[in-house]
Structure 1
């Protein structure tokens, strides 16, 4: 019997009616009910996929999991662990290319939910229970193989370190598939006999985990009576900001563990002033997630706490942190070597045995004055400023550090924020120059799944050469996009929290502007007839877009609306204003400006298709035929955006680039007014 199932059975015997899994949107499951669910699922998975059958040294072909949080995924995780079947967990934010790579190198089959592996022998080290792909900042990430005993040992150490009294109601907030949440959140909660609260991400304000709705998240924590969380620093900053602005407090929380990156001490101070019991930790995938965690005293802000009972840490002569204890089995490429794990992190251990993380060995900046500067140190000072969402510090060989900065708000004063950060730094570490950029995300390849900067990719995009125009366009329109995404109607749509009537009103306005797409393209084509490269692109767009207005009318009918009435109706004033503005720009200005409208409408379609359509369909119970425009157009626009980027990157004329950028900013504002003009029921407006 697996160690996890033994623990579940013990809880079921001692307090059978205690809630084990609470998925929020469906009935909770007690420990008494969970045990047979896990055993039945494990037996079925063994029959379907094979398993260890009691041999802990075997390693079968992995089963792929790519699911949202919920009861089904929780039971499946426990069943596969009990059955001895290796798991390849793929986060939802992985690109198709990343998923394909992970499956091919691990010997697994197809996604999105479950698949058996191929008939070929598995390349996994013996005893592998989980393959997790490290975020990595360079090259292709490697698949790290972990054993069940290792992961459960880490989970037990977490329980021992924080105390079983914290096994109340733990809320899963980190994206599904993140090892830290699986081991230190889910497995630790199950071993301690707590309740794992695992709503779908959209319900917790995380329809897009990299653009969270922190207000919704905070309300959920309060309403669901949550007692413990695991956060990354960005989530903690958002939670603190909402609590400061609204006055809401969360007195039931007894543990808020923060990992994934260094937490700026000022943020820790703000969190603790609000009563949040924050403990910073440190971990690595190769160590099964958690290595160290602060104790409850909080008397050394900024430290990562003492190593957990199963780990030992020491510092190499060059400052690198070395770890000894239970480690990973190896990667998919090679077995693990002997000796301590060289982490690549620079740190120190104080006289009380606490670990302090001070940067990455490979990221050190050496200025032209010969001063060594850890970029993470300067980044922490920048991120402590309220107006800065993300920052990457660079400057090796330059007189002083420089930074790429993404704003946290549409009204952020980045100059003032940089000045405030510099005031906290010694002269040699102060930012000399900075540049505002678009946010780093997994989608654009500049951020890892657990929130770490992909420094080499960012350097290639922004620093190695003059940035591509598409990269500059994203940066120049970042604040306009943020303002658009903050519109309540847009937020409600992305979260699926709209009524059928509101969806029909949206489709009606979509029809009114989409039916002008081809005529607008034809008008632009006529004025660009002397530019064959743009004419060819417009011809492709015209062929692709023709008939999409009829898709929308069909969706209206499938959703129970009156398509004939919409066809005869007049557009709303905001919709008419957007259409008229587009015609005016094309006819009287630089017609290349039309591509700024293309950029806005297609990027918005991608967001609505990826984040909104499924949530709306689920909440409203409408058939798939009511969403053909959103879902199909979203898939098309992902291809279109790649085509669009290549197209505009080939435009050398500064006038064309300026016209496209100006039009994009204008269209975000005008399209935002279209959404803002859609009537919204009071219940949804307050949700």
Structure 2
């Protein structure tokens, strides 16, 4: 037994009606009920290989976490953003229980400096000791309604959020990620996030800096305030001083922290007495910090048991982070040792310093600064909106920097995400992966295409009908209308490909690709008519109907570009329609089905087409990466045009009928 179940039982006696878990989308779980569920599930746990835990936030995930901890079963925590290869690697590494150090309660695979997952093994006593040190430092007065915001499987949320809330006797608010605006495949919906935090009367959060910046921007722009919050802990990366000031100006009680997986996720945390001055606070519990001669932070104290297959080496942990300790014993984080830029003028520059200034500008969503061996730093920038002025943002940042640290050149790129392997789960840049994609050589055309059309994609995602479809908040009539327009453009897919093929007969690789597409796409319009019938619509009427003008315009434009220009431009249309269909299949289909109560037979086109298109996108990337410059220009131009034209198709769908009226 870990003792946590005993604490839960004590809370049940002290506050019989107290709420332990609030999943928002389901009934709450009170302390006595939680104790019974955990005890019953723990009794059914069998020993052996680690139990894989990869669930969205909710009651099921919380009870399983506690039961496995109580039963002493090792848990292999796999975040949802792991690739299939990373999942296979983690499962394979942990298949033999003998590879785990004695006492392992949790195996957390981190990206590591090379991007290869590394399984860190932690004991129950270590994790609960860290959680207790958080409660001791902050006091149980913050044990109100803590909301799980970080992705499931992130150790920081499990230890400092979930376990600490259980120890302190608060309510763990654990809604599914989508309910908090975190289901968007491109970026979080910060307005929804802020509204839900207010509506659910949340009192504490754990955030990464990007989430903090997004919430602050919403509060500044709308006037909304979150007076119930008593603490907002921020970790994962250094927070810009200006962002801290802005957060305080809108009433957010921000406390910076610092930690590593090897140390149970939390090393130090501001307690409030520091005044939010930019430090990461003092080390908690028995943890001790020191600074090596080269500025690296060294830690000594409670540590992990080791990694899968290798016990931990004795002695202090070299963190790879640069920092200092002030006269008050507070830890200040100043960058990464491995990421240091040494310019050709011999100046040492921490890229995080400049990155925090860049991302503090409203126009910049993400930034990575590089330039080792160059005369001056350079940057890769991701815009935050379709009309973001990155040049002005760089100019403003340079004005605040000393001459040796000013950005000499910058390039606009597509977002860094866990899905593309360029971001860790808690928001840290995977620099080597980013450098390999954008800096070591001319990036593949598919990467450049994503970057060049990112603003067009963002404009597309602002269309109310698109947002409603992805969220599922559309009526049955609107869904049937969408299917009707899909029928009218999908029935032209094969003829369009045949037209392109006829003009590309002298290019066998493209002809072969089109032949494969034609074979797979033939008959898909009939799937759509079947979906219309299953959704309660009139398939025959849809077949006989006229397309909306916007749908006709999109199809006519495609025929004209194939007939009059470079026929390879057709692949720009493929890129837009297939990348959009993947998002619609992954999010829109399930959301609409759940809201409207429609059967799976009403989503044959979306779900089947989405699965096909995920395969197609991999094939598409390989195909277009080998094309010459003229084809690439035609594909890019067509893609940008198609985002606008396809957006107009969605905008033509009537959303006036509400869900309440649609049945």
Map 1:356-395 → 2, pairs under 5 A: 356-395=332-371
**1:95 aligned to 2:71?**
no
Q: CA–CA distance in 2 between the matches of 1:453 and 1:2?
A: 35
Q: Find the counterpart in structure 1 of residue 630 from structure 2.
A: 655
Kindly state the Cα deviation for residue 298 of structure 1 after the two structures are TM-superposed: 5.0
| Structure 1 residue 532 corresponds to structure 2 residue 520 | no
CA contact (8 A) 2:23 2:174 kept: yes
List per-residue Cα deviations over 1:513-560 (Å, max 9, x = no partner): 111111111111111111111101100111111121112222222222
**Offset at 1:319?**
0.7
The answer on whether the counterparts of 1:440 and 1:446 sit within 8 Å (CA) in structure 2 is yes
1:683 Cα deviation after fit: 5.5
Match of 1:110 in 2: none
Kept in 2, the 8 Å contact 1:137–1:453? The answer is: no
Structure 2 residue matching 1:659: 3-state secondary structure: helix
Distance 2:243 2:207 in 1: 13
TM-score normalised to the size of structure 2? Answer: 0.97
1:684–1:445 Cα change, 3 Å: farther
Pick which of 249-258 and 96-105 moved more.
96-105
Q: In the alignment, which of 32, 56, 67 is matched to residue 55 of structure 2?
A: 67
Q: Secondary structure at the match of 1:386?
A: coil
Q: Specify the alignment match of 2:467 in structure 1.
A: 491
SS of equivalent residue, structure 2 residue 380: strand
Separation in 2 of the partners of 1:201 and 1:325?
34
Instruction: Report the CA distance shift for 1:628/1:137 in structure 2 as closer, same or farther (over 3 A).
Output: farther
Displacement after TM superposition at 1:502 (Å): 2.4
Residues 237-316 of structure 1: matches in 2 within 5 Å? 237-297=213-273, 299-316=275-292
Deviation of 1:611 (Å): 2.5
Q: 1:560 aligns with which of 536, 550, 556?
A: 536
Q: Deviations over 1:301-348 (max 9, x none)?
A: 321111112311111111110111111111114110000111000100
Cα displacement string for residues 381-408 of structure 1 (whole angstroms, at most 9, x for unaligned residues): 1111110011111101100000000001
In the alignment, which residue of structure 2 is the partner of 1:422?
398
The worse-fitting range, judged by mean Cα deviation, of 484-493 and 65-74 is 484-493
Taking the aligned partners of 2:183 and 2:3, their CA distance within structure 1 comes to 34
Unaligned runs of 5+ in 2: none
Q: Is the 8 A contact 2:322 2:336 kept in 1?
A: yes
**Matched residue, 2:182:** 206
Mapped pair 1:461 → 2:449: no
Q: Does structure 2 conserve the Cα–Cα contact (< 8 Å) formed by 1:227 and 1:254? A: yes
Which residue matches 1:222? 198
**3-state DSSP class of the match of 1:303?**
coil
1:681, distance to aligned residue in structure 2 (A): 4.2
Is the 1:132–1:179 contact (alpha carbons within 8 Å) kept by the matching residues of 2?
Answer: yes
Note the C-alpha offset of 1:501. Answer: 2.7
1:671 matches 2:659: no
Q: Distance in 2 between matches of 1:210 and 1:3?
A: 41
Paired position in structure 1 for 2:39:
39
Query: Which secondary structure does the structure 1 equivalent of 2:298 belong to?
Result: strand
Q: Flag as ranges the 4+ runs of structure 1 deviating above 6 A.
A: none
Secondary structure in 1 aligned to 2:259? strand
Q: Corresponding residue for 1:350?
A: 326
CA contact (8 A) 1:523 1:586 kept: yes
Other-structure match for 1:76? 64
Deviates more, 1:336-345 or 1:64-73: 64-73
The structure-2 alpha-carbon separation of the partners of 1:304 and 1:2, relative to structure 1 and needing over 3 Å to count, comes to: same
| Deviation for aligned residue 1:682 | 6.7
Match of 1:131 in 2: 107
For 1:2-61, what per-residue CA distance to the aligned partner results, in whole angstroms no more than 9, with x for missing partners?
3110110000011111011001111111101111111111122x2xxx13xxxxxxxx41
| SS across alignment from 1:448 | coil
What corresponds to 1:25 in structure 2?
25
Whether the 8 Å CA contact 1:365–1:372 is kept in 2: the answer is: yes
Secondary structure, counterpart of 2:99 in structure 1: coil
3-state DSSP of counterpart to 2:388: coil
Residues 46-99 of structure 1 deviation map (CA, whole Å, 9 limit, x = unaligned): 2xxx13xxxxxxxx4111111111111111111111111111111111121111
Distance 1:84 1:659, change over 3 A: same
Equivalent residue, structure 2, for 1:193: 169
Deviation (angstroms), 1:684: 6.9
| Runs of at least 5 residues in structure 1 that lack an aligned partner in the other structure | 52-59, 108-119
Q: Quick one: distance in 2 between partners of 1:533 and 1:158? A: 60
1:231-256 C-alpha deviation (Å, 9 max, x unpaired): 11111111111111111111111111
Question: SS where residue 434 of structure 1 aligns?
Answer: strand
Comparing 296-305 with 597-606, greater Cα deviation is found at: 296-305
Q: Secondary structure at the match of 1:140?
A: coil
**Residues 199 and 300 (structure 1), Cα distance of their counterparts in 2 relative to 1, 3 Å cut:** closer
Q: Structure 1: how far apart are the matches of 2:542 and 2:525?
A: 11
1:567-621 deviation line (CA, Å, top 9, x unaligned) = 1211112111111111111111111110001111111111112222223323333
The whole-number CA distance in structure 2 between the counterparts of 1:149 and 1:565 is 66
Name the structure 1 match of 2:455: 479
Query: CA offset at residue 495 of structure 1?
Result: 2.4
Asked if the contact 1:592–1:660 (Cα under 8 Å) also holds between the matched residues in 2, the reply is yes
Query: Hey, what does 1:179 align to over in structure 2?
Result: 155
* In 1, Cα distance between equivalents of 2:205 and 2:132: 17
Is the CA contact 2:115–2:430 (under 8 Å) kept in the aligned structure 1? no
1:441-456 equivalent positions in 2, closer than 5 A: 441-456=417-432
Distance 1:513 1:224 in 2: 43
Question: Residue 54 of structure 1 corresponds to which residue in structure 2?
Answer: none
CA distance in 1, matches of 2:517, 2:505: 15
Q: Contact 1:170–1:226 (CA<8 Å) still a contact in 2?
A: yes
Taking a change above 3 Å as real, the CA distance of residues 420 and 342 of structure 1, as seen in their structure-2 partners, is: same
- SS of 1:362's partner is coil
Give the conservation status (yes or no) of the 8 Å contact 1:407–1:436: yes
User: Hey, what's the Cα distance between the residues in 2 that align with 1:307 and 1:208?
Assistant: 36
User: What CA distance in whole angstroms lies between the structure 2 residues aligned with 1:65 and 1:84?
Assistant: 14
User: What's the Cα RMSD here?
Assistant: 1.5
1:114-164 residue CA offsets vs partner (Å, 9 max, x unmatched): xxxxxx544211111111111323141201111111111111111111111
- In the alignment, is the contact (CA less than 8 A) between 1:228 and 1:256 conserved in 2? yes
CA distance in 2, matches of 1:491, 1:259: 30
Q: Tell me how far apart the structure 1 counterparts of residues 26 and 651 of structure 2 sit (CA, whole Å).
A: 32
Does 1:589 pair with 2:577? Answer: no
Q: Which residue of 2 aligns with 1:10?
A: 10
> Is this contact kept in 2: 1:154–1:310, CA < 8 A?
no
8 A contact 1:131–1:146 mirrored in 2: yes
Counterpart Cα distance in 1 of 2:263 and 2:241: 25
C-alpha contact 2:376 2:404 (8 A) present in aligned 1:
yes
Distance across 2 between alignment mates of 1:505 and 1:122:
58
Judged with a 3 Å threshold, the aligned counterparts in structure 2 of structure 1 residues 470 and 396 are, in CA distance, closer, same or farther, namely same
